[in-house]
Amino acid sequence: MTRLFNGALAMAGLVLIVGLDTLRSPPNPYQAPPMLALGSGLSTSGGFCGALPD
Amino acid sequence: MTSRAFTDPGARLSAARTGLIAGALVIIAIVALLVGSRFALMLLIGLGFGVVLEGLRFGFAGPWRAMILRREPAGILAQLLSIAVVACVAFPLLAAHPGELTGAQAPIGFAMIGGAFVFGAAMQVVLGCGSGTLVNAGSGNPVGLLALPFFALGSFAGAYHLIWWTNLGSMPILTLRGTPGLAITLVGLALVAGLLLWIGKPGSRRISRRYVFAALALAGLAVANLVVAGQPWGVVYGLGLWAAKGVAAMGADLSGSAFYAATGSVERLNASVLTDYTSLTNFGMIAGAFGVAAWRSGGMSQPLPSYPARAWIATIIAGVLLGYSSRLAFGCNVGAFFSGIATGSLHGWVWFAAAFAGAFLGIRIRAVSGLEARK
């Protein structure tokens, strides 16, 4: 077995995560924020490992 | 012509490279159309992280090991250079755009310090930190690939218990801000660099051109991460979110956790994973590393190393600990050390000291774990 098998497994894992999640929580492009947070006038709302839950 | 493309190794490699670029562009376009341009940009930034880390063979765990075992400081010096460059841009941006942009700011506490120590040890066992585990998995490294799902499960469990651990005792969030804060940060980085140079072995103190380029490229991508997402580069939150989504999809009730019962957590659990910034950069890092490894001639055809059973057990345990401890520590080498220091959080400095101390223990554990590849 070579690294190609493992690399392909990792990529398949990504496809699985995104695929299953998309079935459960489909994205809505009409709710998309502006391209850049900088200058958007909106507060940040993403999850971050350094932040306590809000 | 068709038969030549199948028989000529050069033509096959060229076709594979064209496919890699075309595949990346198509996926980014799909994300832009179906999710939004900001999220497509974040995926692109993540790809950049993966390409830089794997392509320039730059990381965090390896240079720490090189410093501890061989007194070779060049890799850590490059890390400090990258952090300093990000700080020079991030401090003024954060001061001028409060609200729109936030730093990686977290409280210092007992659990945070203990978590950082354990993370520093575990990352030396598998020779993969937060970013390193993703990059290793993408490039086909079996240790990274096995550690990754356990890293995600550990991150989920750590987040589940985070509030209990934090309640053991922590200080208020202490942050360096503005020009004075930037000056203190740069002086601090210079002092650490000076100490490393002093301890470092003569002849190994010069940062190679490859490392300088990697440090500057990483800094550029980290600033782009901040500007696009409004928050710094992180890794661990996304991994925990994947596991939490999986557990919730199987019917588990997460409302018993103060972390997952919080409004923001519930919203993110119900939203698409393609709208989570750290997930997108994590996806990009794995895919970028895969792309670089596949791009290299013979990069993916290397045979896998052989390890004894105890090495795989050590990898699983270290994977869980990496995830769990990094949540208690409010980040890994990326979210706490790199982004924390670069955006003025004092917890980043404490994380660095505790994790570096843990790395000494981790190197000893690795030596007996069987993870040194058999010759």
pLDDT tens digits for range B292-341: 999 987 878 888 889 999 999 999 999 999 999 999 999 999 999 999 99
- Which of A10, A29, A40 is closest, CB to CB, to B100? A40
> For residue B12, what pLDDT is reported?
81
pLDDT at B76 over 80: yes
**B192-216 mean pLDDT:** 95
| Chain B contact probe: residue of A5, A48, A52, A54 with most B CBs at under 10 A | A48
pLDDT at B3 over 60: no
> For residue A50, what pLDDT is reported?
84
Class of residue B198 by CB neighbours under 10 A (exposed 0-12, middle 13-18, buried 19+): exposed
> For residue B1, what pLDDT is reported?
47
Cβ-Cβ contacts under 8 Å, B270 against chain A: 25
Q: Among candidates B355, B363, B315, which has minimal Cα distance to B335?
A: B355
User: Are A2 and B301 in contact, with CB atoms under 8 Å apart?
Assistant: yes
Cβ-Cβ contacts under 8 Å, B93 against chain A: 38
Q: Rounded to a whole number, what is the distance in Å from the CA of A30 to chain B's nearest CA?
A: 8
Is the CB of A32 less than 8 angstroms away from the CB of B301? no
**B14-36 mean pLDDT:** 93
Cβ-Cβ contacts under 8 Å, B163 against chain A: 52-53
C-beta neighbour count of B194 within 10 angstroms: 10
Is the CB of A6 less than 8 angstroms away from the CB of B227? no
Predicted-assembly ipTM surpassing the 0.90 threshold: yes
Is the CB of A25 less than 8 angstroms away from the CB of B270? yes
> For residue B5, what pLDDT is reported?
55
Q: How far apart are alpha carbons B41 and B36 in whole angstroms? A: 9
The mean pLDDT value of chain B amounts to: 94
> For residue B375, what pLDDT is reported?
43
pLDDT digits (tens, 9 = 90+) for B49-67: 999 999 999 999 999 999 9
Q: Rounded to a whole number, what is the distance in Å from the CA of B159 to chain A's nearest CA?
A: 9
Alpha-carbon distances, residue B210 vs B77, B200, B215, B287 (angstroms): 13, 19, 9, 22
Any chain B CB within 8 A of the CB of A11? yes
> For residue B13, what pLDDT is reported?
82
**B179-201 mean pLDDT:** 97
Q: Rounded to a whole number, what is the distance in Å from the CA of A20 to chain B's nearest CA?
A: 9
> For residue B6, what pLDDT is reported?
61
pLDDT at B26 over 90: yes
Task: For chain A, 54 residues long, give each residue's pLDDT as a single digit of tens.
Answer: 899 999 999 999 999 999 999 999 999 999 899 999 999 999 888 888 888 877
> For residue A45, what pLDDT is reported?
82
Give residue B8's pLDDT band: very low, low, confident or very high (50, 70, 90).
confident
Any chain B CB within 8 A of the CB of A5? yes
Is the CB of B229 less than 8 angstroms away from the CB of A4? no
**B170-179 mean pLDDT:** 93
Cβ-Cβ contacts under 8 Å, A47 against chain B: 237-238, 241, 264-265, 268, 276-278
Surface of A (22-51) touching B: CB under 8 A: 22, 24-27, 29, 31-51
Q: At what angle do helices B236-249 and B142-166 cross, to 10 degrees?
A: 90
User: Are B37 and A30 in contact, with CB atoms under 8 Å apart?
Assistant: no
> For residue B373, what pLDDT is reported?
64
Q: How many contacts, defined by CB atoms under 8 Å, are there between A and B?
A: 201
pLDDT digits (tens, 9 = 90+) for B221-276: 999 999 999 999 999 999 999 999 999 999 999 999 999 999 999 999 999 999 99
Q: How far apart are alpha carbons B154 and B167 in whole angstroms? A: 20
Any chain B CB within 8 A of the CB of A52? yes
